[in-house]
Amino acid sequence: MADSANAPKPSSSVKLVLLGEAAVGKSSLVLRFVNNDFQENKEPTIGAAFLTQKCNLPTRTIKFEIWDTAGQERFASLAPMYYRNAQAALVVYDLTKPTSLVKAKHWVAELQRQASPGIVIALVGNKLDLTNDANGEGAESGGEGAGAEDSGDARKVTTEEAKTYAEEENLLFFETSAKTGYNVTEVFTAIANAIPETSLKSARGAAASHAASRAEEQRVNLNGPRDPNAKEGCAC
């Protein structure tokens, strides 16, 4: 184990896009994953933000190139630019807001129609800290969602409903809290594991269509000093 950690592992880049309604917590999930940080009342993303983070798996290193998009309607027309050639997508909804799941379903449908065929999609219900299952028992208590409202629980989307949908559409499914950090790295690790080895090989070719390969080399050189930090940031 120790040997394999020291030996240079094959490393590959994965383009990942976050989609979902405004104010569901996309940027907060990314901030938690990249910087292990959380900001109350974060201001809305404008346009899109591009961040990178490494994720170490036992056999390889995945470098996520994350497109964190703004959720407002007026930016929707730009989305294809971000999910084109993406190997993974995180479609986020807010557990306390049913309309956000409807929007999430639209995004899933659009991705299945327009994005690369092999794209790995994860459906993520965020803001678990606002529900009664904040302790992390979320997956078990979904059935009781109906009676939840009078107990001060802000949950409006049952685990079961979302999970059933995710299974139908063949999506990864998680409930997370960017605020507490619960399940956040698990989402990214699961995505990293779900991406087939073959698609990683071809990833370079796909990304190169934008003269990105040259930019890629540049970035690797420049980023040398910060890799150790990045490893700390990622708990996987």
Partner 1 sequence: MARDTDADADSNNTSSSTDLLSPPPLPPRRIPSSDSPLQVAPAQSKPTTAVSSIEISALSFPDGSRATFSTTSTSTRAVSTPISSSAGPGPGPGHASPPPPTWASSDHADSMSVRSFAPTLRPAGDLASLVAGELNRKSRAWMMLRSQSSDVQPFATSDIRHAASELAGFENEFDDIPDVTAAGANDDDRLSLWKSKLKHYMILSSAGKPIYSRHGDLSLINSSMGVVQTIISFYEGAQDPLLGFTAGNARFVIAIEGPLYFVAISRLGESDAQLRSQLEALYMQILSTLTLPTLKGIFVHRPSTDLRKPLEGTESLLSSLADSFTRGSPSALLGALECLRLRKSQRHAINNAFLKTRSDKLLYGLIVAGGKLVSVIRPRKHSLHPSDLQLIFNMLFESGGIKAGGGENWIPLCLPAFNNRGYLYMYVSFFDANPDSVSAEPVQERSSSHQDEIAIILISPDKESFYDLQEVRDKLAQQLSKNGSLAIVKAAAKDGRPRISVIAPGAPISHFLYKSRANVQFCMSALDPAFDGPGKAVARRKLMSLYHQIHASMHAKHSHLKVLHCVGEDAASLAWVTPIFEFYCVAGPNISRAVMTQGANKIIQWAKREEERLFIIGGGVF
Q: Which residues of 25-55 are buried (b: 16+ CB within 10 A; e: fewer)?
A: bbbbbbbbbbeeebeeeeeebeebbebebbb
Is 106 a binding residue for partner 1 by CB under 8 A? The answer is no
36 is a contact residue toward partner 1 (CB under 8 A): no
- By DSSP bridging, strand 48-56 and strand 61-69 are antiparallel
Residue 204 binds to partner 1 (criterion: CB under 8 A): no
Q: Which is nearer to partner 1, 164 or 218 (CB)?
A: 218
Residue 219 in the binding site for partner 1 (CB under 8 A): yes
Long-range contacts of 162-165 (CB under 8 A, 24+ apart): 162/93, 162/101, 162/123, 162/125, 163/139, 165/101, 165/105, 165/123
Q: Which of residues 53-72 bind partner 1 (CB under 8 A)?
A: 66, 68, 70, 72
Candidate list 14, 16, 31, 166; residue touching partner 1; CB under 8 A: 31
Verify binding: residue 117, partner 1, rule CB under 8 A: no
Nearer to partner 1, 22 or 134 (CB): 22
Dihedral angle sign, alpha carbons of residues 45, 51, 57, 59: positive
Confirm or reject binding of residue 76 to partner 1 (CB under 8 A): no
The count of chain residues that interact with partner 1, using the rule CB under 8 A, is 38
> Is 223 a residue that touches partner 1 (CB under 8 A)?
yes
The two structure tokens encoding residue 111: 């991705």
Give the list of residues 6+ apart from residue 157 with CB closer than 8 angstroms, or none.
93, 95, 96, 97, 98, 101, 125, 145
Each residue 158-197 as x (binds partner 1 by CB under 8 A) or -, in order, gives ----------------------------------------
Q: How far is the CB of 14 from partner 1 (least distance, A)?
A: 16
Question: Binding string to partner 1 for residues 120 to 159, with x set by CB under 8 A, is what?
Answer: ----------------------------------------
Nearest-angstrom CA–CA distance, 107 and 102? 9
Kind plus residue range of the DSSP H or E element containing 26: helix 26-35
| Local structure of 18: helix, strand or coil | strand
Interface with partner 1 by CB under 8 A: which residues? 22, 27, 31, 34-35, 39, 42-52, 66, 68, 70, 72-75, 78, 81, 210-212, 214-215, 218-219, 222-223, 225-226, 229
